[in-house]
Amino acid sequence: MAGRIPEALADACADVSEAGPGDAVAGVAPRFVARPAGVTEAAAVLTAASTLGMTAVPRGSGTRLAWGVPPTGCDLVVDTSRMNKVLEHAAGDLVVRVQAGVGLDQLADVLAKAGQRLALDPPAAAPFPGPANGASTAHPPHGAGTIGGLLATGAAGPLRLRYGTPRDLSIGITVVRADGTVASSGGKVVKNVAGYDLGKLFAGSYGTLGLIVEAAFRLHPRPAATSFVTLDAADRESAAAVTALVASSPLAPSAVELDRPARREPFRVGVLLEGDTEGVAERTARMTELLGSGSTQPDPPAWWGGGAAAAADGTLIKVAFWAADLARVLGAVDAAAVSAGIDPAVGGSAAAGVLYAAVAEGAPASAVARFVTDLRAEVGAGGGSMPGAPPHRGSAVVLHAPAEVRAAVDLWGPVPGLGLMRAIKDQFDPQHIMAPGRFAGGI
Amino acid sequence: MTAQATPGTAGAARAVQGAGEVAGAAIDALVPRMTEICGRGGVLTDPAELATYECDGLTSHRCSPGLVVLPTTAEQVAAIVAVCARAKIPFVARGSGTGLSGGALPRADGVLIVTSKMRRVIAIDQESRRAIVEPGVTNLAVSKAAEPFGLFYAPDPSSQVVCSIGGNVAENSGGAHCLKNGFTVHHVTGLEVVTPDGELVWLGDGTGAAPGYDLVGAFIGSEGTLGIATKIIVKLTRIPEAVTTLLAAFRTMGAGGAAVSAIIGSGILPAAIEMMDALAIEAAEAAVACRYPEGAGAVLIVELDGPADDVRRETEAVRAICEKEGAYEIRAAHDAAERTAIWTGRKSAFAAVGRISPAYIVQDGVVPRTALPEVLDRIAELSAASGVRVANVFHAGDGNLHPLVLFDDAVPGAEEAAEEVSGAILDLCIAHGGSITGEHGVGADKSKYMPKMFGPGDLDTMQLLRCAFDPAGLCNPGKIFPTPRLCGEVPGVRREPHPLVAAGKVDQF
């Protein structure tokens, strides 16, 4: 599989090795792994790769490397683990600038010293076997992933209700294009409308437009106190009603999560309140009163934010919808699951209109495919006709799945604006060498 | 640069009209088809009528459009753009025309597509906290429509009474309260757009989590160069339980600036922190008699919103910080009337400067908040050295300066001196790691500064996006980028028929 390292590649980067079995990307074995130490080396690597006509897949710590369609080509893995410096933390400005390989845990430690945080909490996941565990890795793998991987996958957790997703907190980005051109947009000030915002375009682009090498983010103060109010809801309707009640309350919840491990079990509803100590205590009391029941704890319940972490070896589906559609979407999940003969766990940021369905490993691929297809049709329909609304008002995307399931169903489903996305890909990467085939519509 | 009430700088724009007879004839040839699409009342050809559209809020750049069309539906916009695309005639979209960077500056050889007749709030979904609106709806009208549901639309540019949502999308508008709530890009989850080849396409699906590239995020803030938004799905926010506005007067700008840093450093995130210097206060007093405390070298306006108890405590904390930093008078407003009294001076500041100066230039540079004291000192030095007066009104919380550079356009050379100071202020912003524009956009006005902030690789890469949307370069050409990129033929570009052709037919309106 591997071969002698091409001279141009070896010249471009001090750390290039032949790939091992642990370097496979969603089952596709690369020939080489390059670990550039910074922007200059990263640009040289991609210049060399494009000259050699090699396909390249970016990799952080591998946390979400199995997300997306397996690449149609993967000659080279560009590993960001040596680009792991926090370049600038301007605490007074609540801004941080980092290299792409910086781990979220590593960054959190740095920011915590100043009483700050990057208000994104994607679920930590066990790294997929191997990729970043090689002996030459300069930094250990990070359970929650790297900044580059976070941006590339657009991953977010419960805090998305209040703070959004990586694209919302990103204020500047530096990327290397497929041909080695280095480009930046934005900067290190929060308010800035000069030029196009490439950060938005690269957030959630799965490595298909280029390699993210640096990024700047807006930060927030770490709350002095947190409180989790949890209660059980017997059925879908009451879970949806509680979610709507909390979301419409004036109590400024930072997150509202649902979780149900199996169909026969009740829904667990959790509300996160953050702020100063007194304020959180007051709002916790008011929230409990509003809900009429519920228990309170300062730390997250064990199930909190677990939706996207579930089923590392199974199938994980992200369902997005308009919040008012929650009860109907939960009904659609159950109907599709019953009809397919499976029992996925369901959970996620219900008030923000994002849920995850996790099907355990071992479910027949045809059943999972049927579940996804049925669910997609129902979710996309939205809650019936609404004047002026888009044709699809929701989506069901398979984030990762075993090979048999991937073969049986389109992971992405319908994507609005796909023609424009293809045109963008063709502009940024005309040779289609960056993570080819991983994205929607074969991009 | 905004030089209001100064016709002097129109010369450069006039040159565009040299496009000549050929362009004029090509545009005249479009009139019958445009009349078929928009009706007789929807097409303006009379030079006197065209002249009323010759500039947006940046009055120093003027150019009468070749033709003005006023469509009423998305399908009409698509048909208009398709006609332009076939004829290779450039087109520019315009909402309410309040932009401050000449983003909607028309072309003499082009068509100006005005969305002001598309002003329906089509749907409000209370539980999803979403509204679907047309581009000509004013910013404030969205909040008004949402109010009965206990919701509002958070971005609030100062021109919110008149500015349109379509224009807000083009400019990624902010406003005083974006410190806490974010910008337009944080509050739009779906866009129906007409692409520069006349196709009607949805970007995003209203969820805010649509699969694929974030085309909504890429489109917002693209200043009308990637297409024309015809429907906008906005996120609505719950009206906060309590709002308190504090006005604190300081003897010096330095003391006011120290208070800003201390507030942010305490972990409080106010909805807005605004600051005005003595000259800006003087202007506001002259214009609207806002009765700010006498003798103030700086006033700070801090607005706190959220759950009632939190607001009460944060108000006390901010009050204590201001006192500690030397505030000699603090007023608190708890109801709408009191709040309005405090905000009147700030909101009228731009226009008010007209009372103390015949003309002025507004800048929109941004610096890291911690660099504010130094940059303000340097601006004062620039002002002293040049003799050009500069009034400072700014969004202190996010470092967005709005220096008002004053001059008398009757004095020869005064405008040039003011422009020099204005440019030097932008250089200061760039040197301090900031930006040339925080919310007004680059438009026709600041494209010459773009190479100071971005390198050739950056600008080239941004324009790849432009090429993907508008390879022919017909959609609001000449804005943002000092040098247009030739897109060339990219092999393998596939464009699919969009899925909305059918949906357009079922549109109930």
CATH number, domain with residue B471: 3.30.70.2740
Q: Cα–Cα distance between B244 and A303 in angstroms, integer? A: 38
Same domain for B407 and B348, yes or no, is no
Is residue B24 very low, low, confident or very high in pLDDT (cuts 50, 70, 90)? confident
Q: Which fold has domain A225-297?
A: Alpha-Beta Plaits (3.30.70)
Same domain for B56 and B137, yes or no, is no
Which portions of chain A are predicted below pLDDT 70? 1-3, 125-142, 307-312
Picking from A92, A389, A394, the nearest residue to B261 by CB comes out as: A92
Contact B210 A252 (CB under 8 A): no
Report the pLDDT value the prediction gives residue A132, as an integer from 0 to 100. Answer: 36
The pLDDT tens digits for B217-269 are 999 999 999 999 999 999 999 999 999 999 999 999 999 999 999 999 899 99
**A contacts of B472 (beta carbons < 8 Å):** none
Q: Cα–Cα distance between B372 and B258 in angstroms, integer? A: 10
Domain limits at B197? 121-239
Chain A residue nearest residue B260, CA to CA? A92
Is residue B195 very low, low, confident or very high in pLDDT (cuts 50, 70, 90)? very high
B492 within a domain of the structure (yes/no):
no
Report the pLDDT value the prediction gives residue B410, as an integer from 0 to 100. Answer: 94
Strand partners, A376: none
**Mean pLDDT on B315-335:** 96
Q: Is the model's pLDDT at B142 over the cut of 60?
A: yes
Q: Tell me B147's DSSP state.
A: G
Report the pLDDT value the prediction gives residue B80, as an integer from 0 to 100. Answer: 98
Please tell me the total count of domains within chain B: 4
Same domain for B429 and B441, yes or no, is yes
The pLDDT tens digits for A54-103 are 999 999 999 899 999 999 999 999 999 999 999 999 999 999 999 999 99
Q: Do B358 and B409 form a contact (C-beta atoms < 8 A)?
A: yes
Strand partners, B131: B124, B234
Same domain for B66 and B103, yes or no, is yes
Mutation for testing the B interface, residue in A175, A420, A425 having most B CBs under 10 Å:
A420
Tell me, yes or no, if B319 comes closer than 8 A to chain A by beta carbon: no
* Span(s) in chain A for CATH 3.30.43.10: 7-81+422-442
Q: Do B321 and B250 form a contact (C-beta atoms < 8 A)?
A: no
Q: Cα–Cα distance between A205 and A440 in angstroms, integer? A: 10
Contact B214 A203 (CB under 8 A): yes
Picking from B128, B240, B496, the nearest residue to A322 by CB comes out as: B128
CB contacts under 8 A, B 229-288 vs A, are 231, 233, 238, 240-241, 261, 264-265, 267, 269
Please report, for the domain that includes residue B217, its CATH number: 3.30.465.10
B506 within a domain of the structure (yes/no):
no
Contact A282 B366 (CB under 8 A): no
Report the pLDDT value the prediction gives residue A123, as an integer from 0 to 100. Answer: 83
Q: Which residues contact B376 (CB under 8 A, 6 or more apart)?
A: B253, B257, B277, B392
Average of per-residue pLDDT values in chain B: 90
Report the pLDDT value the prediction gives residue B498, as an integer from 0 to 100. Answer: 35
Q: Is the model's pLDDT at B7 over the cut of 80?
A: no
CB contacts under 8 A, B 16-35 vs A, are none
Q: Give long-range contacts, CB 8 A cutoff, 24+ apart: A288-291.
A: A288/A229, A290/A245, A290/A246, A290/A249, A290/A251, A291/A229, A291/A231, A291/A242, A291/A245, A291/A246
B499 within a domain of the structure (yes/no):
no
Short-list A20, A14, A15, A16, CA closest to A2: A20
Give the CATH number of domain A86-221; options: 1.20.1070.10, 3.30.465.10, 3.40.950.10, 3.40.50.970.
3.30.465.10
Written as six digits, the tokens of B469 are 């949307």
B487 within a domain of the structure (yes/no):
no
Mutation for testing the B interface, residue in A177, A193, A222, A318 having most B CBs under 10 Å:
A193
From the number of C-beta atoms within 10 Å of its C-beta (0-12, 13-18, 19+), residue A292 rates as: exposed
**A contacts of B229 (beta carbons < 8 Å):** none
Write the CATH number of the domain with boundaries A7-81+422-442: 3.30.43.10
Contact A193 B493 (CB under 8 A): no
Same domain for B196 and B295, yes or no, is no
Same domain for B58 and B40, yes or no, is yes
Same domain for B226 and B256, yes or no, is no
Among B114, B149, B175, the domain-final residue is B114
B486 within a domain of the structure (yes/no):
no
Regarding predicted confidence, which is higher, B436 or A306? B436
Report the pLDDT value the prediction gives residue A309, as an integer from 0 to 100. Answer: 53
Tell me, yes or no, if B172 comes closer than 8 A to chain A by beta carbon: yes
Same domain for B102 and B11, yes or no, is yes
For chain B, the C-alpha Rg in angstroms (whole number) is: 23
Please report, for the domain that includes residue B14, its CATH number: 3.30.43.10
Q: Cα–Cα distance between B395 and B8 in angstroms, integer? A: 30
Same domain for B128 and B149, yes or no, is yes
Give the rounded percent of residues in chain B with a pLDDT score beyond 90. 83
A130: left (phi > 0), else alpha (psi -120 to 50), else beta?
Answer: left
Q: Do A193 and A428 form a contact (C-beta atoms < 8 A)?
A: no
Written as six digits, the tokens of B48 are 């006197």
**B contacts of A246 (beta carbons < 8 Å):** none
Report the pLDDT value the prediction gives residue B21, as an integer from 0 to 100. Answer: 66
**Mean pLDDT on B468-484:** 95
Is residue B509 very low, low, confident or very high in pLDDT (cuts 50, 70, 90)? very low
Mutation for testing the B interface, residue in A190, A256, A385 having most B CBs under 10 Å:
A190
**Helix ranges restricted to H, B116-186:** 139-146, 165-171, 178-181
Q: Is the model's pLDDT at B13 over the cut of 70?
A: no
Report phi then psi at B41, rounded to 5.
-75, -10
Q: Is the model's pLDDT at B68 over the cut of 60?
A: yes
Same domain for B395 and B455, yes or no, is yes
Q: Cα–Cα distance between B288 and A373 in angstroms, integer? A: 62
**A contacts of B435 (beta carbons < 8 Å):** 187, 189, 191-194
Mutation for testing the A interface, residue in B207, B370, B487, B493 having most A CBs under 10 Å:
B207
B498 within a domain of the structure (yes/no):
no
Give the CATH number of domain A307-411; options: 3.30.70, 2.60.40, 3.20.20, 3.40.50.
3.30.70
Contact A276 B458 (CB under 8 A): no
Picking from B222, B370, B508, the nearest residue to A387 by CB comes out as: B508
Same domain for B191 and B278, yes or no, is no
Same domain for B230 and B128, yes or no, is yes
Q: Cα–Cα distance between B274 and B286 in angstroms, integer? A: 20
Tell me, yes or no, if B206 comes closer than 8 A to chain A by beta carbon: yes
Q: How far is B210 from chain A (nearest CA, A)?
A: 7
SS3 string of B337-356? HHHHHHHHHHHCHHHHHHHC
Q: Cα–Cα distance between B308 and B225 in angstroms, integer? A: 43
Q: How far is A253 from chain B (nearest CA, A)?
A: 10
Task: Specify the amino acid at residue A248.
Answer: S
B428 within a domain of the structure (yes/no):
yes
Tell me, yes or no, if B490 comes closer than 8 A to chain A by beta carbon: yes
Is residue B491 very low, low, confident or very high in pLDDT (cuts 50, 70, 90)? very low
Picking from A278, A320, A441, the nearest residue to B207 by CB comes out as: A320
Report the pLDDT value the prediction gives residue A192, as an integer from 0 to 100. Answer: 96
Picking from A201, A282, A440, the nearest residue to B214 by CB comes out as: A201
Report the pLDDT value the prediction gives residue A310, as an integer from 0 to 100. Answer: 54
pTM over 0.90: yes
